[in-house]
Amino acid sequence: MEYIYATMLLHSGDKEINEENVKSVIEAAGIEASDVRIKGLIAALEDVDIDEAIETTALAAAPAAGVVAPVTEEKAPDQEEDEEEEEASEEEAAAGLGALFG
């Protein structure tokens, strides 16, 4: 997880996310950095828009955290199906992002 945190710190500081910078952050925290893990992380993030990934994950995590108020009105069956598909899509996006950073 520390590799993801290092990446997020670099991103929030508008610093380039590369092997050298990630390793510097990890080592500054007093953790022995693994070059293999860093290389894998950088390769996995090559085509990832981090801002979009954060937004997608936050949206997917909000219902799980109880952030969204419960709905009290009844819905038509086709509305429920659409919402279930949307929730499944958000969960898949979050799972994909989790796998990327895991």
- Asked if residue 11 has pLDDT above 90, the reply is yes
What digits encode the pLDDT tens for the residues 27-63? Answer: 999 999 999 999 999 999 998 898 888 888 877 776 6
* Residue 20 · residue 4 · CB < 8 Å: no
Alpha-carbon separation of residue 61 from 19, 42, 52, 90 (angstroms) = 29, 24, 14, 9
- Asked if residue 92 has pLDDT above 90, the reply is no
- For residue 14, is it left (φ>0), alpha (ψ between -120 and 50) or beta? left
- Greatest extent of the chain over all pairs of C-alpha atoms, in Å: 55
CATH of span 1-47: 1.10.10.1410
